[in-house]
Structure 1
Amino acid sequence: MVEKRVEVDYEAWRRGRWEEIAGPLGKAGVVQLATITGSAQTVEGVPGQWDASGSDGVKFTAAGADGVSLDGRPVNGTVTLTGGSSLRLSGERTVAVSGGDGIYRLIVWDPTVASLTRLREIAVFPVNPAYTVDAEYRRTPGREVEIERLTDPPTKHILPAPADLVFDLAGQRRSLTVIETFPGNLLVVFTDSTSGAETPDIGRWVVLPPVEGDTVRVDFNQAVLPLHVFSRAFPCPLAPEGNHLPVPVPVGECAPVYGEPKGTREAMSTDIKDTAVRYLRRLEAGDYAGMRALCTDTATVWHNDGKGQQTIDENLAMLKDGPAAEASLRYDITRQFTEADEVLQQHVLRITNADGPVGEVQAAMYFRFKNGLIDRIEEYANFIPAAG
């Protein structure tokens, strides 16, 4: 039996959604996810070691020089953390801890990342009651489906698919598969005729409430953008095979809206200058995930080394596995110029290893930005070895 429809306060829903994405520890500021399940485990870009083998929480060990604090006190040794704890890293990043029973999840959040600081709103289509449907919830006990996740490179996972939704939309009978991404989280990942045009080509989500009977209300006006749209750190699932609606669904969220920081055009110039500097500071720290979070999905890199153009992921993989990853790096920036969404800067990269100075790279680097994120890097560099 279909329940009586309840009036939805869409403005309240949008405010809650904005808080989830752009509020304190909001998803748009997440630059890295990690899972701790063993002992002596390290996390790229985060100092110290983790140990989840105990029964009283996850242990974190760091030296005072690492610049990590807990509740405002520097960590110098070992502390025990439980779900809900958080650490402050040097700079402005926070590591939030969740989980328990030997499995802990870490979320690294950076309030300065451009995907958060330049996010102005989440655009939505007008509300249309015709896209709130009462669907049959056809249970499929034990069924599993293979889902592709937006990891780098993409991976495939087997997830429970506990039901199909069957409903009428735009004059036709439709069916969508429900997946369960973790126990109790019922998710409908779908694409429609707006995908790749007015909405992301990776589709959108409808999160279902707990279902007790054989019907459920599906409100496409509350269709949301995948978290991957706001932060590449999230390995979001793509739509299961067949979860395409061959009609437009012009309701719900459609796109993030990015713009200038609050203030003047000069403030925007300062913002992209700072982003260019943060990119290099992340490289100094070996924080490749943080570097990637400052770039668009399609960012490219070119150097005057004869190797041609690379994608940002190819370039970061080269840096991570190259000799510079074992060295100490310091960028001394001598000057910067901005023009619209472009930054041109001159700097000297000083390279040191355990045996002393290796040399320096004198360089001019060009950054082009798109929606506040780095979309193109070009570097003209000359390496000068250290004397002797």
Structure 2
Amino acid sequence: MSNTNNTGFKGFRTGLFILGCLLIFSACRQAKKYHDTTSVPVVERQGALADIISFQQGLNASFKDPEISPLPDRFRMRFEGLEFFEPDTSYRVWARLERTPDALPFQMQTSTDEQAAERVYGILSFTLKGNPYRLEVYQSPDLVLEAGYEDYLFLPFSDRTNGQGTYEGGRYIDLRIPKRDSILLDFNKAYNPYCAYNPKYSCPLVPEINRLDVEIPVGVKAFKK
């Protein structure tokens, strides 16, 4: 995400990277895998819930921080916290990652006249509520050259809650390149692009291929000004 002087997108991803660093210790302690099934043991569900709550707390902390918050001062000064759906571990699924090493960089459309350079890193295939889905996941050719972002992946998506409880333009999920061919996809960690809070930002638009014909009632809700 970038503003008109081309710094917003970098700042946005830096903010989310800082958040990721804050959460990595607790995330690394979660050795279990959580699947889209009601048969997941109680201990594992509790671990997943703790991870989701930790993410929410970290995101709220970043929005309160004047150094990295996307909120205009008039909103940040009275900011008490983002509104989230109730955590639901059935929206925390394992996806198969099919890498696309031959994919070429392209210019992704944004909410302004600017464009964001991205490359399709791979295809995520997963099952949610018994139905199969596929999403493209992206890597920035420029961002990958920066320290700390070498394994960063960007997942924009939309669903049937957009404009009906969630931001109309869709939401994002931050991911890291896994060592194997599977990746934990937690929709509870879906967050809004910065342009949902501040018009100075230019946000990548969700490609048509990543528009899910299903409701994803978890993650961050629409921002009420």
State whether TM-score is above 0.5: yes
- The answer to whether 1:4 aligns with 2:46 is no
Output the CA distance in 2 between the equivalents of 1:119 and 1:128. 25
Structure 2 equivalent of residue 129 of structure 1:
89
Q: Paired residue for 1:139?
A: 99
Structure 2 contact 167–223 (Cα < 8 Å) conserved:
no
Asked if residue 178 in structure 1 is aligned to residue 206 in structure 2, the reply is: no
For the aligned residues, what is the CA RMSD?
A: 1.9
Q: Give the TM-score normalised by structure 1.
A: 0.42
Residue of structure 2 aligned with 1:24, choices 56, 66, 74: 66
Name the residue aligned to 2:27: none
Query: What residue identity is the alignment partner of 1:172?
Result: N
Task: Look up the equivalent residue of 1:132 and give its one-letter code.
Answer: R
Structure having the larger proportion of residues in strand:
1
1:226 Cα deviation after fit: 1.1
Between 1 and 2, higher relative CO (CA 8 Å, sep ≥ 6) is seen in 2
Kept after mapping to 2: 8 A contact 1:146/1:240: no
Aligned to 1:150: 111
Helix, strand or coil at the partner of 1:175: strand
Cα distance in 1, alignment partners of residues 191 and 57 from structure 2 = 13
The counterpart of 1:203, out of the listed 157, 165, 170, is: 170
Corresponding position of 1:161: 120
Letter in 2 for 1:239: V
Secondary structure in structure 1 of the residue aligned to 2:223: strand
Structure-1 residue corresponding to 2:19? none
Counterpart Cα distance in 1 of 2:220 and 2:110: 21
Question: How far, CA to CA, are the matches of 2:71 and 2:92 in structure 1?
Answer: 31
Q: Distance in 2 between matches of 1:175 and 1:145?
A: 20
Structure 2 CA distance for partners of 1:29 and 1:200, relative to 1, 3 Å = closer
Supply the AA of the counterpart residue of 1:227. Answer: Y
Partner of 1:224: 191
- 1-structure distance, mates of 2:111, 2:78: 23
C-alpha contact (below 8 Å) 1:136/1:167 kept by paired residues: yes
Mapped partners of 2:94, 2:75: distance in 1:
36
Provide the rounded CA distance (Å) in 2 between the counterparts of 1:241 and 1:157. Answer: 16
Q: CA deviation at 1:194?
A: 0.3
Q: TM-score, normalised to structure 2's length?
A: 0.70
Identical aligned pairs, as a percentage?
26
Gaps of 5+ in 1: 31-112, 258-370, 372-388
SS at the partner of 1:119? coil
Q: Which whole-Å CA distance do the structure 2 matches of 1:128 and 1:171 have between them?
A: 16
Q: CA deviation at 1:146?
A: 3.7
* Residue deviations 1:216-257 (CA, integer Å, cap 9, x gap): 010001111112212223222111231011010000111234
Indicate conservation of the 8 Å contact 1:141/1:162, yes or no.
yes
The answer to whether the 8 A contact 2:114-2:202 is kept is no
Shift of 1:145: 4.1
The 2-side partners of 1:142 and 1:234 are apart by: 31
Residues 1:169 and 1:145: Cα distance change in structure 2 (over 3 Å): farther
- 1:160-309 equivalences under 5 Å are 160-181=119-140, 182-183=143-144, 184-257=151-224
1:13 to 2:41 alignment = no
Structure 2 counterpart SS, 1:164? strand
Find the aligned partners of 2:82 and 2:66 in 1 and give their Cα distance. Answer: 17
Cα distance per residue 1:161-207 (max 9 Å; x no partner):
11110001132110011012321321110000001221111100111
Cα distance in 2, alignment partners of residues 23 and 249 from structure 1: 28
Which stretch has the larger CA shift, 198-207 or 233-242?
A: 233-242
Partner secondary structure for residue 159 of structure 2: coil
